[in-house]
Amino acid sequence: MSTDDKNRAVAAAILPLVGGAGNVTSVAHCMTRLRLGLRDRSLVRDEELRALPAVMGVVEDDTYQIVLGPGTVARVTPEFETLVAEAPTAGSPADPAPSADDLAAQGAAIRAARKARNQTPFKLFLRRIANVFVPLIPALIGCGIIAGLNGLLVNLGWLPAVTPALAAMASGFMALIAVFVGFNTAKEFGGTPILGGAVAAIIVFPGVARIDAFGQTLSPGQGGVLGALGAAVLAVYVEKWCRRWVPESLDVLVTPTLTVLVSGLVTIFGLMFVAGEVSTAIGDFADWLLAHAGAGAGLVLGGLFLPLVMLGLHQALIPIHTTLIEQQGYTVLLPILAMAGAGQVGAAMAVYLKLPRNGSIRRTIKSALPAGFLGVGEPLIYGVSLPLGRPFVTACVGGAFGGGFVGLFSMLGDKVGSTAIGPSGWALFPLLDGNHGLGRTIAIYAGGLLVGYLAGFTATYFWGFSDRLLEEFDVETETVVAASTAPSKPSGPDPEPAKV
């Protein structure tokens, strides 16, 4: 089977299990997840969906999220969209469903619970901010790896004729990242994307160096991605005001002109300076925190990152990461936060040993561990540690110890950073950078992973299970299933044993 056929087969297997094309209202994807908007959540067959070989797990948020893993999700999503578009639009989903009253009651209850849990104004705002930066991650990863390769070649003195070209490839996107942020921001907040990009482009235009704003000489790039974000949001509001009040006959001329003029002036004479001060403060605070309280900060950040992910608050870190990369060339926070995944891997290995008779959980762990080592933690979180309860807490303990290890070296003067956001675990090695050579940086990060594995394993093995939990889960699942589904024994002679 070709790769295209395989991806289409995965999409075709998923579609009926989410209620069919008629139940799908929107389709999108991030780095690892297929994100679906659904009309009726009760039509989804969760267990059958989780049983698909390509599905690593499912997550419920404002959308129904199916974890397929990096790379796979980007190939399956277009096939899924094609299948949805090709399906007949008339009628309801083909799958059998309960009565209309039952579905209405279940749907109302689910929507009310999800709305109360997830749709707070703050979380919705963070989600919109994340939607601005997530599409930039592939470019950050690609340029970050090229930057790391270029640095290695420069340090070794190899290919001197090629390294300037590699430097241009690695730096070109970062030089214009404000424009892409402005474009995405306007798109996300309901404006015209190109106008958001046009206003944000002012920030990186070299000519701003000739502008004196209230006694301060501006510099190209001042304010960075935060300034671009603010400028584009302002442009959206100016544009919407113009659409409301400018006559239709003049709209095509007046609206874009006023949008760029008003928001551009505010950006030059206000936002660039303010956002520049905020960006500088973020960088200075990160440096101070890790230099003076690195071990403690790493302990807290590594231990609390997974709960932040569960609450959706981790999205607030994305613009901070991007600001640090723009300022310093790498973010010192990501390697510390990546230790949370190491704690999950260690905890999963302990669960595997503590439940020798539970074949179902052990198979889940064996299939999910490779992805866990590469930093894709959802299958282990949602398939193993979180449902068990206490192992999720002990996994966070492992992340705390790993983060404390990396933070300790920051206190000692050895910074460990990442030139991009998105990857984690072993997948972060090609993106590592620091202030004392690549070899030393890699060794510290690898040591942090090892500490996270060991601490997560130890905490889970010795304190991750109560007697009741062991009694409940350390059972032969195949035997239990067979016993529960076997028919009652008929009278008469015993049947021959089944051949297997």
Active-site entry in 30, 143, 242, 396: 30
Q: Which residue has the tokens 């760029």?
A: 260
Active site residue 143: no
HSE at residue 85, side-chain half, CA atoms within 13 A, is: 7
Beta bridge partners of 45: none
What tokens does 10 get? 């995965």
Helix/strand/coil (H, E, C) string of the chain?
CCHHHHHHHHHHHHHHHCCCHHHEEEEEECCCEEEEEECCHHHCCHHHHHHCCCCCEEEECCCEEEECCCCHHHHHHHHHHHHHHHCCCCCCCCCCCCCHHHHHHHHHHHHHHHHHHHCCHHHHHHHHHHHHHHHHHHHHHHHHHHHHHHHHHHHHCCCCCCHHHHHHHHHHHHHCHHHHHHHHHHHHCCCCHHHHHHHHHHHHCHHHHHCEECCEECCCCCCHHHHHHHHHHHHHHHHHHHHHHCCHHHHHHHHHHHHHHHHHHHHHHHHHHHHHHHHHHHHHHHHHHHHHHHHHHHHHHHHHHHHHHHHCHHHHHHHHHHHHHHHHCCECHHHHHCHHHHHHHHHHHHHHHHCCCCHHHHHHHHHHHHHHHCCCCHHHHHHHHHHHCHHHHHHHHHHHHHHHHHHHHHHCCCCEEECCCCCCHHHHHHHEEECCCHHHHHHHHHHHHHHHHHHHHHHHHHHCCCHHHHHHHCCCHHHHHHHHHCCCCCCCCCCCCCCC
CA distance 138 to 145: 11
Q: Which residue has the tokens 């939607």?
A: 131
CA distance 45 to 366: 24
CA distances (Å), origin 498, targets 412, 481, 486, 493: 66, 16, 13, 15
Give the residue numbers marked as catalytic.
30
